[in-house]
């Protein structure tokens, strides 16, 4: 796992500076503390930089930039290629010469062999940049699901790219301004839907896509992979043998885990006590000779946000070498650090425990396997079942249910059944994808009240289904569950979940691997009948549970999904109450340019009084305000600033 960056100059009078590439590169030291390198082409057209986290082939021969035999091709690569060994053997047989045993070098020679289609048979997670000197062009590419990030900035003189946008702050000729057009989307989703970003002029390379940029500035894009589901009419005829399907799910997931055990450094697993991480750890225990190293985290004094008891049960079943962290974090002490690693505002507060467990896990291992993707592939979210239930209910039932619930007191937190039921009743009569979006949103119909009138008037009308707009025709051909799964895969997964996992693990130079996001697993799961994934009674991940029934303890199998979270509702009514007011309602608060103060006061009052649980919304707003405050400082310290360590009280057990 590594950090990559570089620049391509379109202006012959402006040669790429090695010093500028180094400055960008060294903003990414957390992604690669073990080695570094820079290449600038002799004509000054292209420069690429690299920070290395050594995982496979720990020798200097595997350092990057990685050339081919005559150095006409130069590659920087972030990630892992899980099928690199058979590819390497084939390339050796074809006459290619290798200087290392790394997966990176396989990509260089595979490009020589297959040209633009070199990624079609590559299995892994990656972001890469390849300079082809004979053809005077730069290739940028990302893996299929979008596990590894890759951003690029373009103006009239250059294109710059990097694993994280903070690298651009270090370039003397790049000035990043707030992308005001994307801000309403942030308040809806809690993240910036790709390919747009927080900054004007900066875009993401789409998952499963190769972008080719010529030295004259011409750009071409090729999507080499796209997850597809069978249309509703075909789905029931695609896979009909249930017993064979169960066996195939077990085989594919097991192979996916086995592929991800390849490492020359210590390896372990995050263990939450849920079904997905239990399966991953159970498979690892059967494949590894030594006990699996597992890691869990819980919050002191708040059982509603603590899964360590369940994780401990799984650890005992598989005799893992288990480390449990129990923390009392200063959430606000962490906020600025989380924003720095996300390069901007990020509304998902589960980044807090992900950061903390990554920080402490890195003291023991360099690579972890996670359960990410199990919910996406096999329908594990409760909201999927709720959406399907709502499809079957008459239109009058929503208002009736809301009326029945209205006399009841406010629920203690957003995870309480009453909060979930109220959300369900409020939006259940909406069209399917709009319903899903509203259930997941931070602000939706109240967005118009949140935005300052002057700012709202300066922006185009907000398209609340914007991230799905180009997919609506395709989605309309699918069953309701397939629509939900595919919409989730193309929006929430790459925009939120994978961003959080990548930034929070790489903040501590920890590599995370997700077996459930293996291409073969994803493609096969997409073909399975809906009822084999989610029953009408609400049992999630049915075929996955059946395939690994021997690995999942009954208590784990019976419990509902909890998910990673923190007790924001309680924090913002208690010890952080004053901080919320002082930050959001200050006379010099920078968010006042964009947000309506009266609405902010209303949100804070409703939360403090217990009228509503708006902790997630307040976290989203605090993240936005702190980002605006920190942005000038980020620019100033881009050439070597440091991030203060968060204040933690940690007890290991």
CATH number at residue 28: 3.60.20.10
Query: What value does the mean pLDDT take over residues 202-222?
Result: 97
Q: How confident is the model at residue 329 (pLDDT cuts 50, 70, 90)?
A: low
Q: Are residues 199 and 246 in the same domain?
A: no
Cβ-Cβ contacts under 8 Å for 126 (sequence gap 6 or more): 77, 78, 79, 80, 81, 141, 142, 143, 148
Among 171, 193, 223, which residue terminates a domain? Answer: 223
Q: How confident is the model at residue 652 (pLDDT cuts 50, 70, 90)?
A: very low
Q: Are residues 194 and 292 in the same domain?
A: no
Q: Are residues 80 and 8 in the same domain?
A: yes
Residue for token digits 């799984």? 314
Among 191, 223, 255, which residue terminates a domain? Answer: 223
Cβ-Cβ contacts under 8 Å for 94 (sequence gap 6 or more): 113
Sign of the dihedral defined by the CA atoms of residues 469, 143, 205, 355, in that order:
positive
**Catalytic pick from 2, 5, 591, 620?**
2
Which secondary structure element, helix H or strand E, spans residue 577, and what is its range?
helix 577-584
- For the chain, how are helix, strand and coil distributed in percent, rounded to 5? 45, 15, 40
What DSSP state is assigned to residue 23? H
Task: Give residue 330's pLDDT.
Answer: 64
Q: Is the pLDDT at 442 greater than 50, yes or no? A: yes
Contact 329, 305 (CB under 8 A): no
Q: Is the pLDDT at 73 greater than 70, yes or no? A: yes
Query: What value does the mean pLDDT take over residues 206-214?
Result: 98
CATH number at residue 432: 3.40.50.620
Higher per-residue confidence, 299 vs 150: 150
The structure tokens listed for 230 are: 């069978």
Residue 538 phi, psi dihedral angles, 5° rounding: 100, 5
Q: How confident is the model at residue 419 (pLDDT cuts 50, 70, 90)?
A: low
Strand partners, 33: 52
Where in the sequence is the domain holding 20, given as residue range(s)? Answer: 2-223
CA 248/CA 245 separation, integer angstroms? 5
Contact 359, 325 (CB under 8 A): no
Other beta carbons less than 10 A from residue 270's beta carbon: 26
Q: Which of 49-53, 79-83, 396-400 has the lowest mean pLDDT?
A: 396-400
The structure tokens listed for 122 are: 């590559």
Q: Are residues 239 and 209 in the same domain?
A: no
Sign of the dihedral defined by the CA atoms of residues 165, 126, 207, 492, in that order:
negative
Active site residue 620: no
Q: Which of 1-15, 316-330, 601-615 has the lowest mean pLDDT?
A: 316-330
Task: Give residue 643's pLDDT.
Answer: 42
Contact 342, 499 (CB under 8 A): yes
Q: Is the pLDDT at 161 greater than 60, yes or no? A: yes
Q: List pLDDT tens digits, range 32-46.
A: 999 999 999 999 999
Nearest to 442 by CA among 564, 616, 595, 622: 616
Nearest to 128 by CA among 189, 193, 65: 65
Nearest to 525 by CA among 414, 327, 370, 373: 373
What DSSP state is assigned to residue 541? S
Phi/psi-derived region of residue 208, left when phi > 0, alpha when psi is between -120 and 50, beta in every other case = left
Task: Give residue 653's pLDDT.
Answer: 41
CA 562/CA 492 separation, integer angstroms? 18
CA 114/CA 109 separation, integer angstroms? 9
Strand partners, 326: 298, 651
Among 202, 223, 244, which residue terminates a domain? Answer: 223
Q: Are residues 192 and 233 in the same domain?
A: no
Query: What value does the mean pLDDT take over residues 256-266?
Result: 95
Query: What value does the mean pLDDT take over residues 136-164?
Result: 97
Query: What value does the mean pLDDT take over residues 166-187?
Result: 96
Other beta carbons less than 10 A from residue 391's beta carbon: 12
What DSSP state is assigned to residue 301? T
- Cα dihedral 467, 472, 476, 477, rounded to 10, equals -100
Q: Are residues 82 and 132 in the same domain?
A: yes
Residue 128 phi, psi dihedral angles, 5° rounding: -145, 160
Higher per-residue confidence, 75 vs 236: 75
Q: How confident is the model at residue 485 (pLDDT cuts 50, 70, 90)?
A: very high
Q: Are residues 582 and 631 in the same domain?
A: yes
Q: Is the pLDDT at 409 greater than 90, yes or no? A: no
Residue for token digits 């007011």? 581
Q: Are residues 42 and 83 in the same domain?
A: yes
Task: Give residue 125's pLDDT.
Answer: 97
Higher per-residue confidence, 384 vs 134: 134
Task: Say how many residues make up the chain.
Answer: 653
Q: Is the pLDDT at 581 greater than 90, yes or no? A: yes
Task: Give residue 498's pLDDT.
Answer: 98
Task: Give residue 388's pLDDT.
Answer: 82
Pairing of strands 321-327, 293-299: parallel
Contact 74, 112 (CB under 8 A): no
Contact 543, 239 (CB under 8 A): no
Q: Is the pLDDT at 644 greater than 50, yes or no? A: no
Query: What value does the mean pLDDT take over residues 65-79?
Result: 96
Q: Is the pLDDT at 342 greater than 60, yes or no? A: yes
Contact 178, 224 (CB under 8 A): no
The structure tokens listed for 525 are: 């799961």
**Long-range contacts made by residues 537-542, C-beta under 8 angstroms, separation at least 24?**
538/382, 538/385, 538/389, 540/375, 540/378, 540/379, 540/380, 540/381, 540/382, 540/384, 540/385, 541/275, 541/276, 541/374, 541/375, 541/378, 541/379, 541/380, 542/378
CA 92/CA 271 separation, integer angstroms? 39
Q: Are residues 214 and 237 in the same domain?
A: no
Pairing of strands 2-9, 209-214: unpaired
Mean pLDDT, the chain, as a whole number? 90
Task: Give residue 647's pLDDT.
Answer: 40
Q: Are residues 218 and 234 in the same domain?
A: no
CA 124/CA 138 separation, integer angstroms? 21
Cβ-Cβ contacts under 8 Å for 289 (sequence gap 6 or more): none
Helix ranges restricted to H, 126-241: 166-169, 183-189, 232-238
Q: Is the pLDDT at 650 greater than 50, yes or no? A: no
CA 266/CA 295 separation, integer angstroms? 13
Q: Are residues 215 and 288 in the same domain?
A: no
Task: Give residue 648's pLDDT.
Answer: 40
Task: Give residue 113's pLDDT.
Answer: 94
Cβ-Cβ contacts under 8 Å for 539 (sequence gap 6 or more): 545
Task: Give residue 309's pLDDT.
Answer: 87
Phi/psi-derived region of residue 3, left when phi > 0, alpha when psi is between -120 and 50, beta in every other case = beta
Tally of domains in the chain? 2
% of the chain at pLDDT higher than 90: 75
The structure tokens listed for 480 are: 């309701």
pTM for the model: 0.93
Task: Give residue 240's pLDDT.
Answer: 78
Q: Are residues 455 and 388 in the same domain?
A: yes
Q: List pLDDT tens digits, range 616-630.
A: 999 999 999 999 999
Q: Which of 257-261, 405-409, 488-492, 548-552 has the lowest mean pLDDT?
A: 405-409
């Amino acid at each position: 796992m590594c950090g990559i960056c570089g620049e391509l100059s379109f202006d012959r009078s402006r040669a790429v500076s090695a010093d500028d590439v180094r400055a960008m590169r060294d903003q990414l030291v957390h992604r690669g503390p073990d080695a570094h390198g820079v290449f600038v082409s002799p004509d000054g057209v292209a420069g690429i930089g690299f920070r290395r986290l050594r995982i496979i082939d720990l020798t200097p021969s595997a350092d990057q930039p990685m050339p081919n035999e005559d150095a006409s091709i130069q590659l920087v690569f972030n990630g892992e290629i899980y099928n690199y060994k058979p590819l390497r053997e084939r390339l050796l047989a074809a006459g290619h010469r290798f200087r290392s045993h790394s997966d990176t070098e396989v990509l260089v020679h595979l490009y020589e062999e297959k040209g633009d289609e070199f990624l079609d048979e590559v299995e892994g997670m990656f972001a890469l940049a390849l300079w082809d000197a004979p053809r005077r062009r730069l290739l940028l590419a990302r893996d299929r699901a979008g596990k590894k990030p890759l951003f690029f900035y373009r103006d009239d003189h250059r294109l710059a790219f990097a694993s994280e946008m903070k690298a651009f702050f270090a370039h003397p000729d790049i000035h990043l301004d707030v992308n005001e057009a994307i801000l309403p989307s942030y308040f809806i989703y809690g993240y910036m839907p790709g390919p747009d970003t927080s900054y004007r002029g900066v875009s993401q390379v789409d998952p499963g896509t190769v972008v080719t940029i010529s030295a004259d500035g011409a750009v071409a894009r090729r999507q080499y992979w796209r997850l597809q589901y069978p249309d509703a009419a075909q789905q029931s005829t695609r896979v009909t043998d249930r017993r064979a399907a169960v066996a195939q799910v077990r085989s594919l997931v097991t192979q996916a885990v086995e592929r991800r055990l390849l490492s020359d450094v210590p390896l372990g697993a995050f263990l939450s006590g849920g079904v997905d991480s239990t399966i991953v750890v159970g498979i690892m225990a059967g494949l590894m000779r030594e006990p699996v190293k597992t890691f869990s985290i819980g919050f002191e004094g708040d059982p509603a946000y603590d899964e360590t008891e369940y994780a401990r049960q799984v650890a005992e079943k598989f005799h893992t070498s288990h480390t449990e962290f129990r923390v009392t974090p200063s959430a606000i002490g962490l906020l600025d650090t989380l924003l720095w690693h996300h390069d901007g505002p990020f509304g998902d507060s589960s980044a807090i425990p992900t950061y903390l467990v990554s920080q402490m896990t890195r003291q023991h291992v360099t690579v972890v396997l996670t359960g990410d993707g199990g919910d996406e592939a096999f329908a594990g979210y409760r909201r999927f079942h709720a959406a399907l239930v709502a499809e079957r209910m008459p239109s009058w039932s929503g208002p009736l249910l809301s009326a029945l619930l209205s006399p009841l007191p406010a629920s203690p937190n957003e995870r309480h059944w009453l909060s979930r039921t109220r959300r369900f009743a409020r939006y259940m009569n909406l069209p399917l994808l709009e319903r899903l979006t509203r259930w997941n949103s931070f602000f939706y119909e109240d967005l118009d009240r949140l935005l300052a009138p002057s700012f709202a008037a300066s922006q185009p009308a907000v398209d609340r289904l914007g991230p799905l707009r180009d997919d609506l025709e395709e989605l309309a051909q699918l069953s309701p569950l397939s629509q939900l799964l595919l919409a989730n895969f193309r929006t929430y997964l790459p925009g939120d979940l994978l961003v959080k996992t990548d930034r929070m693990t790489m903040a501590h130079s920890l590599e995370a691997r997700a077996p459930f996001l293996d291409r073969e697993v994803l493609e096969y799961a997409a073909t399975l009948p809906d009822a084999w994934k989610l029953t009408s009674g609400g049992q999630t991940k049915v075929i996955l549970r059946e395939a690994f029934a021997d690995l999942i303890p009954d208590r784990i199998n019976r419990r509902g999904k909890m998910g990673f979270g923190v007790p924001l509702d309680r924090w913002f009514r208690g010890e952080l109450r004053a901080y919320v007011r002082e930050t959001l309602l200050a006379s010099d608060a920078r968010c006042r340019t964009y947000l309506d103060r009266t609405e902010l006061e209303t949100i804070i009052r409703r939360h403090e009084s217990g009228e509503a649980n708006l902790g997630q919304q307040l976290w989203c707003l605090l993240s936005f305000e702190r980002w605006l405050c920190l942005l000038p400082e980020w620019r100033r310290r881009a050439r070597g600033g440091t991030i203060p360590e968060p204040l933690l009280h940690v007890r290991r057990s």
